[in-house]
A and B are shown apart, each in its own frame.
Chain A
Amino acid sequence: MTLRVHRNGPGGGHAKSALPVRPARKGAGSITGPKYVPYLYLLPGLLLVSAFVLYPLARTVQISLTEWTGVTAPDFIGVDNYIEILTDPDLRSLFWHAAVLIFFYALVPITLGLLITAVLARSRVRGMTGYRAVLFIPQALSMVVVAIAWQWVFASNGILNQLLSLFGDEVTTAWLGSFDWALPAVGLTGTWRQIGLCMVLFLAGVQKIDPALYEAARLDGANAWHEFRYVTLPNLRAEIAVALTLTVTAALKSFDLVYLMTKGGPGTSTSVPGYEIFARAFNRGEIGSAASLGVTLTILIVLVAFGIERFRREP
Chain B
Amino acid sequence: MRFNILKTGAVVAIASVALLTGCSSGGGGAEATGEKLSAEQVTALGDVTLTVSSWASGGQKEALERAITAFESKYSNVKVDASFKSFDDYGKTIDLTMQSNDAPDIAQSNAVMARRLAAGKLIHPLDQYSKAYGWESRYSDSIRGMLTVSEDGKTFGTGSQWGTAPGGNIVGVFYNTATLKKLGLEVPTSYDEFTASLDTAKAKGVQPIVMGNLEQWPANHVLSAILNYTAGPQKVQDWINGAGGDFTSSGFVKGLTELESWMKDGYISADTNGIKNDDGNAAFVNGEGLYQITGNWNTGLYASMGEDAGFFVLPAPAGSQPATTGSFDGAMTVSTKSAQPDLAALFLDFYTGDEMASSNLDGGFLPFSAVDPTKGASPVTQDVLTEWNAMNKSNGLVGYLDSATPSMGDKMFPDLQSLLGGQTSADNVAKDIQANWNKYYEVK
Contacts and interface: CB of A to CB of B under 8 A. Distances in A.
Interface in A235-280: 262-268, 271, 279
A71 B421 contact: no
A43 B120 CA distance: 39
A69 B5 CA distance: 42
B273 A177 contact: yes
Nearest to A284: B407
B347 to A, nearest CB: 25
Contacts of B122: 71
B406 interface: yes
Interface in B8-42: 9, 12-13, 16-17, 20
Interface stretch (A131-139, A150-158, A193-201, A305-313): A150-158
A172 B119 CA distance: 49
A265 B407 contact: no
A69 B213 CA distance: 29
A86 interface: no
Nearest to B422: A179
Given A69-B116, A72-B120, A283-B409, A51 B20 contact: yes
Interface in B399-444: 406-407, 409-410, 413-415, 417-418, 421, 423-424
A124 B407 CA distance: 58
A174 B120 contact: no
B116 A154 contact: no
B5 A177 contact: no
A167 B384 CA distance: 47
A70 B116 contact: yes
Given A40-B5, A173-B271, A266 B410 contact: no
A71 B276 contact: no
B80 to A, nearest CB: 26
Contacts of B20: 51, 55
A102 B319 CA distance: 57
A71 B9 contact: no
Contacts of A162: none
Interface in B286-332: none
B188 interface: no
Contacts of A282: 91-92
B371 interface: no
Nearest to B283: A157
Interface string B370-407: 00000000000000000000000000000000000011
B414 A262 contact: no
A178 B420 CA distance: 11
Contact of B410 (A55, A151, A173, A284): A284
Interface residues of B, number: 42
Nearest to B152: A72
A217 B330 CA distance: 73
Contacts of A178: 273-274, 421
A262 B409 contact: no
Interface residues of A, number: 41
Contacts of A51: 16-17, 20
A284 B409 CA distance: 9
A3 interface: no
A267 B420 CA distance: 10
Nearest to A268: B414
A175 B274 contact: yes
A37 interface: yes
Nearest to B273: A177
Choose among B2, B92, B274 the residue with the greatest number of A CB atoms under 10 Å from its CB: B274
Contact of A265 (B5, B117, B119, B216): B216
A283 B407 contact: yes
B410 A267 contact: no
A184 interface: no
A311 B415 CA distance: 42
A40 B9 contact: yes
A179 B273 CA distance: 9
B9 A43 contact: yes
B231 interface: no
A167 to B, nearest CB: 20
Contacts of A264: 216, 414
A29 to B, nearest CB: 13
Given A71-B117, A263-B216, A174 B274 contact: yes
Nearest to B424: A267
Contacts of B91: 282
**Smallest CB-CB A-B distances: 10 pairs:** A174-B274, A177-B274, A177-B273, A174-B271, A71-B120, A267-B418, A284-B407, A266-B273, A266-B417, A71-B116
29 contacts: A33-B2, A37-B2, A40-B9, A51-B17, A69-B116, A71-B116, A71-B119, A71-B122, A72-B119, A154-B274, A173-B271, A174-B214, A174-B271, A174-B275, A175-B274, A177-B213, A177-B421, A178-B421, A179-B418, A262-B214, A263-B215, A263-B216, A265-B273, A266-B216, A266-B274, A266-B423, A267-B414, A267-B421, A267-B424
Interface of A: 33-34, 36-37, 40, 43, 47, 50-51, 55, 69-72, 151, 154-156, 172-179, 182, 262-268, 271, 279, 282-286
